[in-house]
Amino acid sequence: MRSRRRRFEIGCRIAAFAVLGWLIGSSLMPRAQLESERASSRDIGVRLARWTRLPASVALHADLKTTPDAWISDWLGALRRTGHPVTWSGTPPAVAIATDALSDPAGGLRIDIAAPSGSVVTVRDGASVIDTVRVASLGATVTAAIAVDSIVGEVNGARFTAAVPDPARLRPVLVVGEAAWEGKFVARALEERGWHVDARFAVAPRVDVTQGAAAPLDTSRVSAVIAIDTTIGLLGAAALERFVREGGGLVLVGSAASGPAVASLTAGRVGARTRPAVLPPDTIGLGATGFYPVRALRPTATALDRRGGSIAIAARRVGAGRVVQVGYDDSWRWRMAGGPGSQAAHREWWSRVVGSVAYVPSLPSLPTVARTTTARGVGAPLAHLVERIGPSRTAPPAAAGWHLDQRMLMAVIMILLCLEWGSRRLRGLA
């Protein structure tokens, strides 16, 4: 019969070897469930360094109320590539910003913003705040004459950034028509606004007054053609259509849209010219003396301006190019005989019309995120986050049960073996 002391010694030895066996077994067999680490929008920035030193088996999860800065998304993406299960959850606002150079010789840029309706977005560049806008219908647009560094939008703590685009490379505008006031003043207004204008005015049979090089009609040489009247047919229907389909802009003024050379390009049929019952007694505004209404609008065309129930301006896309049909055929009266500021208004108006159709060579195609990424951030931070670590997911469950430190277990083994050894020595055994 073994003594109680002998049973204690055997018990200590068995327990020590059992713990040792468990340690060996747990090191050889993978754990059924992962350890995980969590962070919030507030502290994720400071946690990333520690997360980087964790074993790849540790799952990382971010609870996000706002979209993180681009560098955080990039860091999380890098952790994911090293083998960490990386997830995030939350409903940060979906925001985006994009910039485009205006087709305007004076430069400038258009800033398009997408954000939740009703939110207030502050738009700034590297120098100052450009504007603050309240978003309606998920979008807002801001224009700026000049911007430095990059464009940053801020809404509810989310920052989104777009690069300042290079100025649009505009080519000459060609004005074609009979020698008359409208063509002369359209050309002059555009020149005053900084456009390079070539012109061809028919004066007599086989006699044209030309300005600028008589370049072939090609998007590599001409941004847009402004047809003042049906003499546009002299350029040839096929050449005009090819020009527009390749991306060139075409402005059809007044009766110009009734010519057979542009029949396939018009936004609609040209109606009979309207004339006011009473002429303006003093100053003249745009359209005050009547216009050519656009009738039978094509399904692909859009009305841009209506006056008295008729369409005064309409536009359509043809291939890669755009066509604007302008019913006003004597805008020069507005410039010459309008009220104060009419000259500048005429200039701006024509520059906008031409800018809306002018061909601008596009940049080489880049992935959307790459194109909107700048040194200071990204244009669509939520999209950037999803691209880096995937869509929002629920947090992984925490590892079940408790977890013992292996050093503690080694100490337990040592204590058990020491107890057994001490007991045996006290009994006089070796």
Could you say whether residue 335 binds another protein (CB under 8 A)? Answer: yes
The set of residues, in sequence order, having a beta carbon less than 8 Å from that of 396 and lying 6+ positions away, is: 34, 36, 59, 61, 85, 87
| Cα 54 to Cα 37: distance, rounded to the nearest angstrom | 10
Could you say whether residue 201 binds another protein (CB under 8 A)? Answer: yes
| Cα 65 to Cα 326: distance, rounded to the nearest angstrom | 49
Burial of 211 (0-12, 13-18, 19+ CB in 10 A): middle
Could you say whether residue 284 binds another protein (CB under 8 A)? Answer: yes
Please select the residue that binds another protein; options are 15, 20, 138, 180, rule is CB under 8 A: 180
Could you say whether residue 350 binds another protein (CB under 8 A)? Answer: no
- Whole-number minimum distance, CB 97 to another protein, in Å? 40
| Cα 344 to Cα 21: distance, rounded to the nearest angstrom | 91
Please select the residue that binds another protein; options are 72, 96, 130, 202, rule is CB under 8 A: 202
Dihedral over alpha carbons 201, 202, 203, 205 (to 10 degrees)? 160
- Whole-number minimum distance, CB 344 to another protein, in Å? 10
Q: Are 133 and 111 in contact (CB under 8 A)?
A: no
Could you say whether residue 279 binds another protein (CB under 8 A)? Answer: yes
Nearest CA among 372, 335, 355 for reference residue 164: 372
Could you say whether residue 345 binds another protein (CB under 8 A)? Answer: no
- Whole-number minimum distance, CB 219 to another protein, in Å? 26
Could you say whether residue 258 binds another protein (CB under 8 A)? Answer: no
- Whole-number minimum distance, CB 249 to another protein, in Å? 23
Please select the residue that binds another protein; options are 99, 289, 372, 373, rule is CB under 8 A: 289
| Cα 85 to Cα 417: distance, rounded to the nearest angstrom | 40
Could you say whether residue 159 binds another protein (CB under 8 A)? Answer: no
Q: Are 123 and 59 in contact (CB under 8 A)?
A: no
- The 139-158 site mask, x for binding another protein (CB under 8 A), equals --------------------
- Whole-number minimum distance, CB 280 to another protein, in Å? 9
| Alpha carbon distance, N-terminus to C-terminus of the chain | 21
Contact residues: another protein, CB under 8 A: 178-185, 188, 192, 199, 201-205, 207, 209, 211, 275, 279, 282-284, 289-290, 329-330, 332-333, 335-337, 342-343
